[in-house]
Each structure stands twice: as structure tokens, then as C-alpha cells.
Amino acid sequence: MIKNFQNKDNTYFKNIPTFVNKSNKMRATYIFLTTLALFFSFLLHAQENTSTLFKINLQKDIGGTTWIYIQKGFEKALEDESDAILIHMNTYGGEVLYADSIRTKILNSHLPVYVFIDNNAASAGALIALACDKIYMRQSATIGAASVVNQSGEKMPDKYQSYMRATMRATAESHGKKTTVSGADTVYTWIRDPLIAEAMVDERTVVPGISEEGKILTFSAREAIEHGYCDGIAENLNQVIEEYLGYENYEIVSFEPTFWDEIKGFFLSSVIQGILIMLIIGGIYFELQTPGVGFPLIVAITAAALYFVPLYIDGLAANWEILLFIIGIGLIVLELFVIPGFGIAGISGIVLVIAGLTLSLLENVNFNFAPVQTGSLGTALITVSAGLLLGFAIVIYLSTKIGSKGMFRKIALNTTLDNESGYIAVPMEEKNLLGKTGITTTVLRPSGKVEIEGKMYDAVSEQSFIEKGTPVRVTRYETGQVYVEVRSEE
């Protein structure tokens, strides 16, 4: 028997639509929440699949500044857990020593390094590009012409070219060989032919069908692709990333150098460091040759500060390395003016000066030299040696020019003391001063003034520096000059 359910108002199933509406609302809410969850899950998944590509611009001459870019850029890329490093290059070259350091950094990188040559990769730029895992070029770009030249553009002697040839060959060989199986034969060919790399340095290297004798090899983009020195032609970085590297969701993070990076990079240039070393040596030399504290000493101190301060702030130059330099200078001065002859003190001073200047350029931590990269010591020694040699050469040159012309004409006395002008020869009565005693009225280093029997005379020390107020005895008289030595207590 079927009963009709009826409420008190005798209406049938009056509340049923309410239950249906609630059910529909719950279903709609469920669908909305599910869709929202899927949307956020998709966003999270998309974020997780976004690749980070770290870009470093090398669009100036290769040197201390670009070396800083590479060092800090690679560190930042590792900190950000980037997927790859992109080098955006346009350079005519630069210093081979820094190019070799950058090359080594790239070859030892744990992250893949790709280069996009926007226009030029010449000389040192070609070496850096050759170290990268993949090379991409703009249609109008070129790569090659890696001969070593000086600041005037003249080709350096063959020993420099030999080093560059070997470096280019080794860099090309580091990418290994590819295997091609043809029937029963297996052929191994270089991914980047080392002979081509050598031909970019030496015009005597002949690559059959590619480079003839007497011409330095330079590739256009199409030629580079044909011979394995380019992996693709693109018009911009985004095309490289999407078309050749295969990244779809990616983010490009660019290295942004600070003002201090630019300043430090300038003073880390081998040329600038050499000039500063030259000024240090020249300033100290000329200061020792003149009485009192003057302009040469100010130049030497300023040059030393500009040399060491950037290295010290950056953590390269430690206190003990700077102390080595100061002690070395002190020993050289001691040898020149206190200890007769030239022996242990002078040699030790030179060694300590070179050691202080050189070690300040290395990335050692106190006495731990494990972090120092291969080749860095050679780079530092060459920089310091070149600066020292240039400094001594300038000192010798300027010493011959003092009093002759230009600004140096005013340093020396050039007045002609002829008889027609009323001048007479130097009186020789000072010969009677031999053996007499007096006292210095100025510091003799080695020349100065002495007072003998109430009269003032120009005098030269026979020994080393003689302080003011020291009793002295006349030992000889030559060409109008009195020579003295410290008077013994006897």
C-alpha cells in the first residue's frame, strides 16, 4: 500500500525544491574549487618548469673589467641555480692573459655556456668563443683573426704567437671528436678542427680548401657553420634560446655590473697595473735623488695606493702581501744608502717587492694557493715584470733628459758661468780644509751643507746618510766640492 506523505498544511513535497537547490549549489561550489585548484597547480607546475638563463655581456675590449664580469657572473649564475649561461659577445679582442683566464673559467664551468656573437669575435674574443659549448652567430658576424699584437697593432714576436697557437689548438681539442659510422667503417673527426684554430693565429698554417699560406683565417657566419665553428645563425638571443637551445618557458637574468666593478676593472688592467708599478719605482728613485720630501714621493705613494687598495678591498691583496712589498722597499733603500756595495739586503728587497706585487694579484687565501687558477701566476708575474722593466727603463731615460728639454729643463741648472758674464773659476783655497772638522747643518743624502770654522760649504757624504748636527771631518776636495765623513769619537 502506497501512502501519500502530507504535511500539516496538507501540501505534498513542498520542501523538495529547496533540497534540490542546495544540492546544485554544492555541486557548483565543488566544480569551482576544483577548477581553481587545477589552475594554481598548473601555474605552480609552469613555474617549476621555467628555465633560468643567466646572460653576461662581453661587448668591450677583453681585460680586467670583462674578467670581473665573468667571475661575478658565473658565481651569481650558480647561486641562482641557473640552467645555462649565455655570453652576448661583440669584441675586437683585448688582453690575451685575461682572455686565457676567461677561457679557463668557461672550460671548467659546471653549467653549459653558450655564446651569441652579435657582430665580432676577433682575436681574444675568438679564443673565448671557442671555449664555449655552442657558438651562435648573427648573419653578419665574423670570428677569427687571433694573432697577438701590441698596443700599436704590430704583430708580436713568434714566441707570443706560439703560445696563442697552442692555446687555440688546445681549446678546440677540448670539445673532443664525433663518431661517424659508415657501413663497417667508424670515422672519428674533430668537432672543432684544431688546425683551423691554429690558422686563425698563424698565416703560415695551411688548411686545405679553407686557408692558404700568408693569410690569417677569419670566418663569416656561413663559413663557420660549414666548418664546425658555428652551431646556428640567429638574429637575436631569443631566437637562439627558442630555436636552437629548445627552451620554451624561460627567464633571462642579466649580470648588472656595479660602479665599483668598473673602477676595479680599470685598475686591474695589465696596462694600468704596469704603469702604476712604473710610477712606484720611478717615484721612489727620484725621491731618493732629491733632498726633502717632494713630488716624486707623492707620485709613488699615490700609485702604490691605486695598485693595492682595489685589490685589498676585493680580498685579493692580504695584509702580509702588502707588508712584503713595504719591507722590500725598505731593504732596497737600506742597501743603497747604509750598507756599502750591493748584496743580500738589496737582492732580498727586490725579491720581496716582486713577491708582494705578484701575490697581491692572486686569489690565494692567506697561504692556501689551492684556489689560484692555472695560469694566474704566470699572468701576475708577466704583469709585474713588465711594469718593473718599464719603470727602470723610464728612470734611465728620464735621468738622461733632466736638464735637456721640456719640463725636465727646469729640474737641472743649465746656466753657463762664463768669464764674460763676470764669473771666475772656483777658488781652490778649500784644499786647506783637508782634515778639518765641522758639523752638518742639513741632512747629507748624500749631499747637503756643513759648517766648518764658521763658514758654510756644500758637502757630499763619503758614507751613507748623515743626519743634521753630526760632527764630520773633511776627507778630500775635488771640483769645488767638499767630501766629508762622520768624525769618530777619537
Q: How confident is the model at residue 1 (pLDDT cuts 50, 70, 90)?
A: very low
Strands 113-122 and 84-91: parallel
Alpha-carbon distance values, 317 to 196, 360, 457 (Å) = 40, 4, 48
For 216-247, what is each residue's pLDDT tens digit?
999 999 999 999 999 999 999 999 999 999 89
What is the C-alpha to C-alpha distance for residues 387 and 402, in angstroms, rounded to an integer? 22
Side-chain-side CA neighbours of residue 196 (13 Å) = 22
- C-alpha cell recorded at residue 256: 648588472
What is the C-alpha to C-alpha distance for residues 81 and 66, in angstroms, rounded to an integer? 22
What is the C-alpha to C-alpha distance for residues 473 and 301, in angstroms, rounded to an integer? 36
Predicted confidence (pLDDT) at residue 481 exceeds the cutoff of 90:
no
Average pLDDT over residues 177-203: 87
- Give me the CATH topology for the region 421-486: OB fold (Dihydrolipoamide Acetyltransferase, E2P) (2.40.50)
Question: Which pLDDT score is estimated for 76?
Answer: 93
Strands 471-478 and 481-486: antiparallel
For 315-343, what is each residue's pLDDT tens digit?
667 788 888 888 888 887 777 666 655 57
Average pLDDT of the chain is 80
Q: Looking at domain 51-258, which CATH architecture does it have?
A: Alpha-Beta Complex (3.90)
Predicted confidence (pLDDT) at residue 161 exceeds the cutoff of 80:
yes
